Amino acid sequence: MIRKAFVIHAKGGKLTDYIKQHNPIWPELEETLREHGVSNYTIFHRADTQQLFGYMEVKDEALFSRLAEQNVCKRWWKFMTSFLESESESSDKAKEEMLTEIFHLK
């Protein structure tokens, strides 16, 4: 299993709306994530900030990389730019800072 983690930032005043969109996420998106080997996917919020931390496990990098080709992911990512900081107003996906694992306790 491959562990992945990232940080994203909610736009000012958009955190509550972002949270609502994840409870629940679109059923088609959930199915697509699972089909592409994603499991144990969790997003955390850092109190008193707009910072969000995401963690997921993936079965296979090649399978996971094909998520970007899926229409439901493209629609979701574009929709999330309403709530999350992006590189620019015309971005198709929110700014996502991938984290490097430095420690893991089994």
Active site residues per annotation? 22
**What is the C-alpha separation between 25 and 96, in angstroms, rounded?**
19
58 CA to centre of own chain: 13
Q: Are 94 and 86 in contact (CB under 8 A)?
A: yes
DSSP class of residue 84 equals: B
- 64 closest CA partner among 38, 41, 39, 43: 38
Residue type, 45: H
**What is the C-alpha separation between 85 and 94, in angstroms, rounded?**
6
